[in-house]
Amino acid sequence: MKKVLLLAAFAALILVSCEKDANETVLPEAQEIQVDMSDFFVYTDEIDNTAAKGPQGKTCATMRVLNEKLRANPGLEQRMYNIEKHTRTFIASKKPDNPGGGNGGGSGGGGGEEPPVDDGLGVINIPVVVHVIYNNANENISNTQINSQIAILNDDFNGTNNDSNGVPGEFASLVADSDFTFSLAQVIRV
């Protein structure tokens, strides 16, 4: 009797669990997420590369190398497109349908419109270990040089360096004290 009752209960459980719920919602993974790819293109013109010029007048060779790779591999542009589409789809699937009132909306952070939110952490110290690899005494660098570079790094992250006036105009309003300091923890020479 117990076996028959147990078998009937098991069969009823299987029948109930196999029914599809009429109110079942489709999960975002099952939906085809539409992403806008109209702005994707492989822009590799090297006509005017003045923005990529460094202090010595050398230009960045990234676009030239990309052109060479695109010429050598005709399927590369399609692979780049597929990777970009996959990335955008992934990002779109992670965005909430009805985001709250937090960061992420508005004008995209106009750089100084509102004061930054105090995180309560204060100034964060990052200990730095410097590895000096050299073959002879001429290649070795002094502790004075290392300390000088740590000071420059701190000036850069605190917005107090002498060349902050060389920041391009579109980024000038973003120069700020990042509340990071770097301190020399150790020098390892090999």
- The pTM assigned to this predicted structure is 0.39
SS3 at position 165 = helix
pLDDT in tens, 62-109: 888 888 998 999 899 999 999 999 999 988 888 766 655 555 444 444
Other C-beta atoms closer than 10 Å to the C-beta of 154 total: 16
Q: Can you give the pLDDT at residue 105? A: 47
pLDDT of residue 149 exceeding 90, the answer is: yes
Q: What is the mean pLDDT of the chain?
A: 78
CB 49 within 8 A of CB 60: yes
Average pLDDT over residues 163-171: 83
More reliable by pLDDT, 153 or 119: 153
> Binning pLDDT at 50, 70 and 90, where does residue 135 land?
very high
Percent of the chain at pLDDT exceeding 90: 28
pLDDT in tens, 18-55: 655 555 555 555 467 788 888 887 767 665 555 556 66
Q: Can you give the pLDDT at residue 48? A: 54
Do strands 180-189 and 124-132 pair parallel, antiparallel, or not at all (unpaired)?
parallel
User: Mutual orientation of helices 76-94 and 62-72 as an angle, nearest 10°?
Assistant: 110
CB 6 within 8 A of CB 54: no
